Structure 1
Amino acid sequence: MSEENLFYALALLRVEGVGDIMAKKLLSHFGTAENVLNAKSSQLAAIDGIGTVLLKNFKDKTIFEKAKQELDFIQKNDIEVLSFQDDKYPDRLKHCIDGPVLLFSSGNIDLKNRKIISIVGTRQITSYGTEFCRKLIEDLAPLDPIIVSGFAYGVDIVAHQLAMDHDLQTIGVVAHGLNQIYPKPHKKYVAKMEQNGGFMTEFWSTSNPDKENFVRRNRIVAGMTEATIVIESADRGGSLITANMANDYNRDVFAVPGRTTDKYSQGCNNLIKTQKANVLTSAADLIYILNWDIEKENKPVQKQLFVTLDEDEQKVYDYLLKAGKELMDIIALHCDFPIYRISGLLLNMELKGVIRPLPGKMFEAI
């Protein structure tokens, strides 16, 4: 986006009453933000949703001063700005009617042709949630997914840290401008995150982490990812808002079940009970439902010289040695395992380097 186009886009978004949906409608009709702001009142009035109050707001010349101030900040701090019309803008977010017109980002973010999931949950993460998150990301690491979260306390920062531990790209979607870090104790993670990933926001440098901003932030977390995973949540946790938004966007939602007596499992259990989320008991559940395959370009899994297989894994391995390439459903049938069990076994065996996945959910022994 050129400096001139960015300036006018920023000015358009400063018109009081022009939100993302209205801005997209205007851009679709007039072509550019400059054309919108230079349009006559009679032309603007012809657009559905624009009344006398909004027409008056278009005459506010302070929008250009505010746009210039933000443009100066963007240029001085090397902020990358993505328009919803740009190729680098998150592809899935383009299909969300209320997705931001502009996204501001920092770091080294590459979203093209990538598996992208969001991991959210309570700020009061328990040892159960931490261990589940650790195992989940460890098992998903060979598929090299991008991990998105909100950089908050609890589940968010644990997910970011674990992603970095496994050299996975991770993105923090924040509820304020990129001139600050919230919460402040997380500043120590910024440099490492920006090496492989970084931060995204729709908020200007004049925006603080106000309560209402977090709900708006959540729609980006839900909208830009293929699936949203809720690790732990109380029955009214903020992550449930993200899960509901993901459902509204027709994204897959997963929730980790827990004991009915555990406070921070109640939200997840309710999502599952009301069929708003798939049950997530291991990485294999997500891989199966999302139909992910370990592709050639992903990180290689080195075959160990001496591999120990348990009894069930050995049964599957022996069958594949005799049968050759075979479908997951057929493997399950001949080895007498339910699908959910065979998917977990096959994942573990892939990680041990004794089988490989093939297109069409087929597998073969190595």
Structure 2
Amino acid sequence: MISEEHLYAIALRECSLIGDINFHKLIRTFGTAEEVWKRAKKEYTKTDGIGRKTVSDIGNEDYLKFAEKEIQFCEKNNIRILLRYFNELPHLLNECDDSPAILYQKGNFDDSLQKISIVGTRNMTSYGQQFIWDFLEAASSSKCISVSGLALGVDKEVHEQSIHYKIPTVAVLAHGFHMLYPSKNKKLSEKILEEGGALFTEFNSSRKPDRENFIQRNRIIAGMSPSTIVVETGFGGGSVSTAAFANDYNREVFALPGKITDPYSQGCNQLIFQNKAAAISTVKDLVDSLGFNHSKEKVAELFPYSEISIQLTENQESIYQSIKANPQVSLDDLAQMVSVPSYKILPVILELELLGKVKSFSGRQFSAI
């Protein structure tokens, strides 16, 4: 239900120097947006870090008139107005210090379901597309919600495949609900709502998709989920900012590695190299890491391989069998067992490690896998 408090909250957020953080400071001091509206201009010194200039716009009747029109627009278009200080935001987003003071919602959102944010480049390749298909198919047996940004490329694929696999999906917009950008995705946005998903935005109906809004939007995508997956992105791509927000919020970040020569894998590789994201090796491992209660059926691997026995050379087989019979055997003891100098054994052990047959430990000790 839209109340008078919503009116004052919208008006307050329209003030030129009242961003989300200052909004929260003032609410903590005065209790409600209505009280801030009535008292803050005279009593601003009660709030640390708030000066006369910050509150100079508060009380402007034009903002109240705007708020009235905004509420009428929301009522007409079945838009919910969520206030952070009423604890109405998605609970994980509510924990973020810079979460929006006001969030507008269309559609359905079950906050009890696990969320997973998936982002990436607008220039998606078949490699990224195949990963999205495989991952969402694996996740479809879990009760989860996908979150993305309704852009072209990776975002669009995430929403479409989520719908295909009957996974509720959330799109976070970089503009108000008076329009849909990009217009190519208008039918997709309608489909998201029809299939039980939701659209969110922190921007009111006067806000266009300005460039800076997209970075701001990305913090909501990161904030809504415990984990963010970066599928493909170039150096400095928008998805890198989403990963940065997720890191700041102490959330998990996963990135899909690719060839160093592929421009839309370079951002992912950099995140992994800088320890800002965990590398995705297989879809099964990713699903396990996310803690999804996936089905007992075998989850296809991102990089599938045939289950065939590896044919070892005679030299490899001899050393492997000796290690297998003597777990955590030292290099010197192994050299005595097989009557081969240690400097000749080490290259063979390295080959066995690369084949996944042997694991090394500190102190030059080895065990069979």
1:100-139 counterparts in 2 under 5 A? 100-111=100-111, 113-139=112-138
Tell me, yes or no, if structure 1 residue 210 matches structure 2 residue 210.
yes
What are the ranges of 5 or more consecutive residues in structure 1 without an aligned counterpart?
295-299, 304-309, 313-337, 342-366
1:292 CA drift (Å)? 3.6
Give the unaligned 5+ runs of structure 2.
Answer: 299-305, 309-352, 357-369
Question: How far did 1:284 drift?
Answer: 2.4
1:65 partner amino acid = K
- Mapped to 1, the partners of 2:147 and 2:288 lie a distance apart of 20
Counterpart for residue 199 of structure 2: 199
TM-score of the aligned structures, taking structure 1 as reference length? 0.78
Give the AA of the match of 2:265: S
Question: Per-residue deviation at 1:235?
Answer: 1.2
3-state DSSP class of the match of 1:119?
Answer: strand
Answer whether contact 2:41 2:52 (CA < 8 A) is retained: no
Q: Is structure 2 residue 60 aligned with structure 1 residue 57?
A: no
Q: Using the alignment, how far apart are the partners of 1:165 and 1:41 within structure 2?
A: 52
SS at 1:63 equivalent: helix
Number of residue pairs matched?
302
* Letter in structure 2 aligned against 1:122: T
Q: What pairs up with 1:27-176 in 2 under 5 angstroms?
A: 27-39=27-39, 41-86=41-86, 88-111=88-111, 113-176=112-175
* TM-score calculated relative to the size of structure 2: 0.78
Q: CA deviation at 1:86?
A: 4.0
Spell out, residue by residue over 1:239-284, the C-alpha distance to the aligned partner (whole angstroms, 9 max, x if none). Answer: 0010011000101000000011111110000000010001112332
Q: How far, CA to CA, are the matches of 1:282 and 1:85 in structure 2?
A: 41
* Conserved 8 A contact 1:234-1:263: yes
Conservation of the 8 A alpha-carbon contact between 1:164 and 1:170: yes
Q: Which residue of the partner structure matches residue 263 of structure 2?
A: 263
| Alignment partners' CA distance in 2, 1:54 and 1:158 | 42
CA distance in 2, matches of 1:285, 1:208: 40
Following the alignment from structure 1 to structure 2, what is the Cα–Cα distance between the partners of residues 211 and 275? 28
Question: How far apart are the structure 1 equivalents of 2:171 and 2:89?
Answer: 15
Cα RMSD over matched residues? Answer: 2.0
8 Å contact from structure 1 (residues 9, 34) kept in 2: yes
Q: For residues 42 and 85 of structure 2, what CA distance do their matches in structure 1 show?
A: 27
Aligned twin of 2:248? 248
CA deviation vs aligned residue, 1:73-116 (integer Å, no higher than 9, x gap): 111111011111345421111111110011101112222x2110
Cα shift at 1:285: 2.5
Is the 2:227–2:252 contact (alpha carbons within 8 Å) kept by the matching residues of 1? Answer: yes
Query: Amino acid of the residue matched to residue 279 of structure 1?
Result: A
- What is residue 227 of structure 2 aligned with on the other side? 227
Tell me which stretches of 4 or more aligned residues in structure 1 moved more than 2 Å.
Answer: 85-88, 281-294, 300-303
Displacement of 1:26 after TM fit? 1.0
Report deviation, 1:72: 1.2
Shift of 1:46: 2.3
CA distance in 2, matches of 1:282, 1:302: 15
Change (3 A) 1:185 1:40: closer
3-state DSSP class of the match of 1:217?
A: helix
Query: Identity rate of aligned residues, in percent?
Result: 41
Structure 1 Cα separation of the partners of residues 75 and 228 of structure 2: 33
Alpha-carbon offset, residue 42 of structure 1: 3.7
2:37/2:58 contact within 8 Å kept: yes
Q: SS at the partner of 1:132?
A: helix
Letter in 1 for 2:161: L
